Structure 1
Amino acid sequence: MIWSDIKWISVALVSLVVTSTVYSDVPQESESVQTSTKVQEQESQKKPRSFLTDYVVKNQEMDVGGNVGIVDSILIQRITEGTKAVNEGKCRKDLNETLDALNRGDKWALKMLDASVKVPVGIYFGDVYQFGDFDECVTIESPADSDHRHIQAQYCLADVSIEGYRVPATSARNRSRVGVGAQVHWGICLPASCTVKDVEGFLATAVGHRVQVNEKFCHIERPLEFSNSEVLFICVLTMFVMIVIASTAHSIYQYCHNDINKPRLPPLFSAILKSFSITENLIKLVKRGSDDLGLGCVNGIKTLAMTFIIAGHALAFIVGGPVQNPDFFLKQSQYMQNAFLLNSPLLVDTFLLLSGFLFARLLLVELEKRKGKVNFGFLYIFRYIRLTPAYMAVLFLYMVMLHKLGSGPLWDARIGLEQERCSSSWWINLLYLNNYLGNDKLCMFQSWYLAADTQLFILAPLLLYPLWRWRKVGIYLFAVSATVSVLIPFVVTYVNNLDPTFLAFADEIADLSENFYFINYYIKTHMRATAYIFGLLTGFIVHYMQEKNLRISTKCHYFCWSIAVFFGAASMFSIVIFYNPNYEFTRIGNALYAGLHRMGWSFFTSWVVFVCVTGRAKPLHRFLASRIMAPFSRLTYCAYLTNGLVELYMATTIRTPKYLTVLNLLGDAFSHTILTFLAALILCLVFESPIHGIEKILLQRDQQKRKRTNNSPSTSEESA
């Protein structure tokens, strides 16, 4: 089809222009809606008509060959005006060539136009992400022709400010919390020779609105190349994978030939090689271990908590990203049945509590066994070695290779920013201080938990040892610590007039590492210590009651159940109050919730752990300690590390805004959970389990060496 062939639609075009939607003259008050048509026409004549007013999309069918209908004269005029606004240079020459190609009907130029946004749709409904077609744009290249310039396309996502377009305040603090800003994110496909300033000048003139373009939101398709650091990372990863394959093959060979008890390799080397075997590590993963201390219920609690945490992360990244109907979240956030997702940050306290409980339970046993002679420095080193290898592998993936794993309109900006953060602050992460240092460049948004948990682990013996050695002094220290841990969030929230907790409103969670409340308060250890202290206290109470063979009375049992359920429900479900747009925030109300809701949830979780471990809730214990819970529980650490990768990948490879429904969100949460645990399984089998196996082998050899030394004649004589 050529330009002259479509003159027959001019009449239809005129009629469509008359009825086209005017975006540049957005009414700001309700009275504007009632203004007569005649007055509107007079107003529009006083202002320069913008592209959004003039342009009309003609619905022309594509033929079998894929040819797109030629653009109308209004669009050509706007493109011409935009081209004139670009400074003289290569970009302007390429734009002129593209314009000529459009008039000729060249397919590559039509595809460039086709990949760009012409008229935004649904912005009054909150759909401010107008992507165009990213994949079509980045693959466009003009054919090699001596008569015409060779042009490669680039995709840019520009921010177009719509004058007069406002989002109504939806909270008592007059903050926009709907995720709909005053800017439309506009996808445009232009020659790769155009700079950011060229794109801004072209689009601002073409659409008649103020435009801002960030270089990170422009993408040009380039050949895949690897830097030295990327090659090194691939080599190290390949080495680990090859060792795992060799170890697995060795294990399978031994099983098939019944040589498992006849190692032909040196014992130490054979044991270390066996640590990398997938078959051996899978057996360990699914094996139901001994439960002498009655701690099996912890598996179920960890699994359920991690599932809801992953679902909460999925919700945060979806709602904080491109969505067609952001008002859906505002409506759903007022229903109590959604509290587990809205308040999933509270479930992180469950892990802090379990961490404190397990440490207290096991440390008190060791203190009794060794009569107080425990090497705490060795415990700290052991923990660091246990946590760091898998953590380091994911951290270096963020730093080195993550940007090579995907693409999309948001990919370069979001993933590039994450890579910059990790490159500058990775060492802070490995020191487990990233919740206090380098918060402006927080790498791996979820890594704050590891820092907080490690810091509390280091401080825990200061409470546990006095409690074991001097009972009354220890109880006093615990009482003071628990009280202070509740008062700190109360005082900090009141003094700084903060939100009662972390609230997941869309425009505030688009990037958690830039959320003011998240990086300045939410991730701080002093704001999260309550749950850990409750865990330590629960561990001591369980240890004391089992040691003395004590049982609580039936009346006390039911009374505590009622109190625990009340506190747990109040802490979890009251979150919906703060999502009500009519709720008036007050300092004292926010401060009380900040100080008490973690305490209430900690009491509830502590009670569930207590009754399960002490045998007072056998049906619940059987469910939580069931065989299926064990492998998922062992994967929760790796799942926590890898979930950020899953969420980032899903959020930044998106091509079109999501339409939110309950079923869609449930499906996304389910798929994200499966992908997270699959990634966790790989991380566990390649890094975590092998390192743990080697650590255990070396520890056993050290213990055997000490036993031989203690049993030698010279040692016996000295001891005598």
Structure 2
Amino acid sequence: MQVIGFLLLTVIHFGVFAEISESEYASMPELFHLDNFDRCMMLGENALYCMFQMQLSPLEAGSNVQIWQTIQKTTSNVKNFRHDLLRYGICVPLSCPNIAQNVTGYNDDSHLREGIDHCYASELKELGLKGYVTQLHCITEKPLYNIDSVDIVVGILLTSLIVIVMYSTIYEGIARHKSKNDYDRIISTKHGKITACFSIFKNWDKLTTYTDMNKSRLSCIDGLRCYYSIYVVMTHSITPSIYNIPSNPRYSEKITEEPKAMLFLNSHQAVQTFFVISGWLLSTNLFPTFEKMSFSFTYMLRRFIRRYIRLTVSLGVIVAITATWLRHSGRGPFWDGWAGTEYRNCRNNWWTNLLYINNYYDVPNMCLSVTWYLAADTQLFLYSLIILGIIWMKKSTVYKVLGASLVIGVLIPGILTYINGYEIILRIYPETLHTSLNLREWAQMGAPGHTSIGGYTIGLIGGYIFYKNKDKKFFTKTYHHLLWWVIILVSPLAVIFSGIILYDVNYTVSPMQAAVYASLAKNIFAFSVCVLIFGLTQNFGWILRDFLLARPLQFLGKLSYCVYLVHVPLMRARVGQMRSPDYLSDGVLLYQAAGDVIASFIFGTILCLFVDMPTAALQELYLAPKETKRKSE
């Protein structure tokens, strides 16, 4: 009966769309428009380029009400843009010359608002409409931002870093041309050890060193990191492009009807992959230690400090650049909205990123919004150290502690969804994308670390099972392999493509059903990733295993953290410099996403060689345990 009901709703849903013909859609005012920005800036002192939103309404005595009815009908569907709200960018002296007699004297934007209203009045009147400007942001030939003391300090620090890296690279590079004994003698000195930490040549050698896949059963993790990093970058590239300023908005409005769109519109659960990997690696690293020594609070504290330093140095560099020089690196109609907003958020809330609390504090104004994951992962790492510490002190509690953590992790999303009455999923539509950070649902269900305890615990359990049974062979029968394939393919795809049904606005569920889905969806995805990793360690996978163990993926997988840090600032810079609405198609989006992936890996490599790997090398030199230092030497 539910299936029949859903089919009827679907027919009704598409019937509503059928009422609006293509000719009716085309009769509405152009939704997005941009004048030539660079031509406007050539006007020098007379340059005045204004971005504005204009709210439409019908004329009181308008003779043509059909267009307004079409606008209302289109706007009433949440899958569509608000066609009663025009988004324009105009060169005032060229498009509205009547109000540009003395643009340098317009210090009061109310005068400009009235002038723009009047400029478009006659054009809208012919359509039976009127409009008034609700938001206005204007740009002149003057720089948007002045260089301040913070910019100068960060510039000096970045320049110093580049000088140190270049000096160290040359110093270590010259030593390479000497005999092996001379090289070892030079590098073994205190000065030599420190400079070697910053040498691009030496760090490149480490980055491109390949390990024997047959000796390391967890080599598949590099492949998973690489492929999922690409997936994350493509998702973050495609989604804003669809809903920013398309020249064919009909494409964006119909995209949620396409099953393939769920791969990036309903893919938030895929981030559980990284939580599972983090939990797995922590578990496999710590449980052997439990067998060798008694509980040590100092050891656990040192683990946290080392991880904090390793993550925070690279993060701090990106936050510093975003809060200072990123805003000076481009210009355009959307620059202040995309790059300027990020700059202001990072100036105000940079400290929350460095304390890894940015996913709880002032979430709507989060600096580098994508770093919610780093905060959540750090919080879950600390949480896991606590529960693993309990296990370390009393090893017989391992099943009870991990089991309790799993139950808690599964229940939390469902309880929060039920109590707050949230929808079954967070739907991304054209108008909601721009306000997603302001949505209470995302701030309480997507970003916080406690909503992903289940995924991280699944990783801990998987790592423990792997550690305890690393020399055993499981699942030797054919049906075991078939079951493995079903779990790793059907489970995550079912979670993602459930959006085909759940994205329909007419599809409603009870609060209890929404709670059950919230509890199970992300944890089912996490479980499938855990089963995937365990199967690969058992030599399952056939061609999939070959793809994940390809040698280049070891190199690319090591870049995943740096790629994650740089990809959003790069995209903000790209979108911020747009000069015209983009024509959208599947091919255009994939081409654009591929470009973002390539750029992210290029800049991620630079960040890795200049910051991340030197940080790791210095940690190994000064903070590593004595046994580790001896092995490295």
Q: TM-score range by the shorter chain?
A: 0.7 to 0.9
> Runs of at least 4 residues of structure 1 off by over 6 A?
30-33, 704-707
Provide the C-alpha distance between the structure 1 equivalents of 2:576 and 2:38, rounded to a whole number of angstroms.
Answer: 14
Aligned partner of 1:267 among 170, 189, 197: 189
Deviations for 1:384-438, whole angstroms, at most 9, x for unmatched residues?
Answer: 1110011000001111111101111111233222222111111111100111112
How far has the Cα of 1:135 moved from its partner? 1.4
CA distance in 1, matches of 2:51, 2:409: 45
Q: Deviations over 1:297-337 (max 9, x none)?
A: 00111111111111110112112311122332343333333
Residue number among 441, 459, 483 corresponding to 1:559 in the alignment: 483
Deviates more, 1:476-485 or 1:614-623: 614-623
Partner of 1:360: 283
Q: Which residue of 1 aligns with 2:350?
A: 426
Give the superposition deviation at 1:631: 1.2
**In structure 1, what residue type is equivalent to 2:33?**
Q
2:89 alignment partner, one of 187, 190, 197:
187
What's the offset of the Cα at 1:486? 1.8
| Aligned residue identity for 2:236 | H
Task: Give the conservation status (yes or no) of the 8 Å contact 2:409–2:450.
Answer: yes
Q: Which residue of 1 aligns with 2:53?
A: 159
Q: How many residues align?
A: 578
Aligned-residue offset at 1:32? 13
Where do residues 78-477 of structure 1 align in structure 2 (5 Å cutoff)?
A: 127-141=30-44, 151-164=45-58, 165=68, 176-190=78-92, 191-195=103-107, 196-208=109-121, 209-212=130-133, 214=135, 217-222=137-142, 225-258=146-179, 261-264=183-186, 267-289=189-211, 292-373=215-296, 375-467=299-391, 470=394, 473-477=397-401
Matched, 1:639 2:533: no
Change (3 A) 1:675 1:436: same
- Structure scoring higher RCO (CA < 8 A, sep ≥ 6) equals 2
Post-superposition CA distance 1:471-518 (Å, at most 9, x none): 553212222222222222122223323232333222111254334432
Most deviating of 353-362 and 591-600: 591-600
The answer to whether the 8 A contact 2:280-2:461 is kept is: yes
| C-alpha separation in 2, matches of 1:517 and 1:169 | 27
Deviations 1:77-110, CA, capped at 9 Å, x for gaps = xxxxxxxxxxxxxxxxxxxxxxxxxxxxxxxxxx
SS at match of 1:311: helix
* One-letter code aligned to 2:340: G
User: What CA distance in whole angstroms lies between the structure 2 residues aligned with 1:557 and 1:464?
Assistant: 32
8 A contact 1:126–1:326 mirrored in 2: no
Q: Which residue of 1 aligns with 2:100?
A: none
Q: Is the 8 A contact 2:475 2:481 kept in 1?
A: yes
Write the letter of the residue equivalent to 2:84. Answer: A
Once residues 581 and 276 of structure 1 are traced to their aligned partners in structure 2, the CA distance between those partners, rounded to angstroms, is 54
- Answer yes or no: is the 8 Å Cα contact 1:178–1:506 preserved in 2: yes
Identity %: 24
Contact 2:253/2:430, CA 8 A, preserved across alignment:
no
Partners of 1:488 and 1:159 lie apart in 2 by 40
SS in 2 for 1:156: strand
Gaps of 5+ in 1: 1-29, 34-120, 142-150, 708-720
Give yes or no for contact 1:125–1:324 (8 Å, CA) kept in 2.
no
Contact preservation (8 Å) 1:244, 1:686 = yes
C-alpha change, 1:262 and 1:385, in structure 2 (3 Å) is: same
Contact 1:168 1:176 in 2 (8 A): no
Answer with 323-332 or 454-463: which moved more. Answer: 323-332
With 457-466 and 391-400 compared, the bigger mean Cα shift is at 457-466
Letter paired with 2:591: G
- Pair 1:127–1:513, CA change in 2 (3 A): farther
Q: Could you tell which deviates more after superposition, 478-487 or 162-171? A: 162-171
- 1:596 positional shift: 1.2
Pick one of 446, 462, 465 that aligns with 1:538: 462
Question: Do 1:309 and 1:345's aligned partners in 2 also have CA atoms closer than 8 Å?
Answer: no
Deviation of the 1:444 alpha carbon: 0.6
More helix by share: 2
Query: In structure 1, the residue corresponding to 2:89 is in which secondary structure?
Result: strand
Structure 1 distance, partners of 2:187, 2:201, is: 19
Deviation at 1:181, TM superposition (A): 4.4
Distance 1:608 1:410 in 2: 42
Displacement, 1:534?
A: 0.7
Q: CA contact under 8 A between 1:180 and 1:507: conserved in structure 2? A: yes
C-alpha distance in structure 2 between counterparts of 1:408 and 1:439, whole Å: 27
Q: What is the distance in 1 between the residues matched to 2:377 and 2:250?
A: 36
Residues 643 and 31 from structure 1, CA distance in 2 versus in 1: closer, same or farther, beyond 3 angstroms?
closer
Q: Deviation at 1:154? A: 1.6
> How far did 1:197 drift?
1.4
Cα pair 1:395 1:422 within 8 Å, conserved:
yes
1:144 corresponds in structure 2 to none
SS at match of 1:413: helix
Q: Quick check: 2:283–2:463 contact (8 Å CA) kept in 1?
A: yes
Alignment match, 1:55: none
Displacement of 1:167: 5.0
Measure, in 1, the Cα distance between the counterparts of 2:209 and 2:566: 23
* DSSP-derived class of the 2:551 partner: coil
Query: CA separation in 2, counterparts of 1:479 and 1:591?
Result: 21
Tell me if structure 1 keeps the 8 A contact 2:284–2:464. yes
Question: 1:87 corresponds to which residue?
Answer: none
| Partner Cα separation in structure 1 for residue 187 and residue 486 of structure 2 | 60
Work out the CA distance in 1 between the residues paired with 2:19 and 2:559: 59
Alpha-carbon distance in 2 for matches of 1:211, 1:699: 62
Which residue matches 2:124?
A: none
Instruction: Report the CA distance shift for 1:469/1:133 in structure 2 as closer, same or farther (over 3 A).
Output: same
Cα gap change, 1:262/1:497 in structure 2, threshold over 3 Å: closer, same or farther? Answer: closer
The aligned counterpart of 2:9 is none
C-alpha distance in 1 between matches for 2:222 and 2:323: 32
Q: Which residue of 1 aligns with 2:523?
A: 599
Q: Distance in 1 between matches of 2:111 and 2:25?
A: 28
Distance 1:435 1:622, change over 3 A: same
How far the C-alpha of 1:443 sits from its partner, in A, is 0.9
Runs (5+) with no aligned partner, structure 2 = 1-17, 59-67, 93-102, 122-129
In the alignment, is residue 572 of structure 1 matched against residue 519 of structure 2?
Answer: no
TM-score between the two structures when normalised by the length of structure 1:
0.75
1:568 Cα deviation from its structure 2 partner: 2.4
Q: For 1:254 and 1:517, locate their aligned partners in 2 and report how far apart those are by CA, in whole Å.
A: 57
CA distance in 2, matches of 1:480, 1:270: 50
CA distance in 1, matches of 2:74, 2:411: 30
CA shift digits 1:457-478 (9 cap, x unpaired): 0010333344456455321222
Given that 1:127 and 1:323 are in contact with CA atoms closer than 8 Å, whether structure 2 keeps it comes out as no
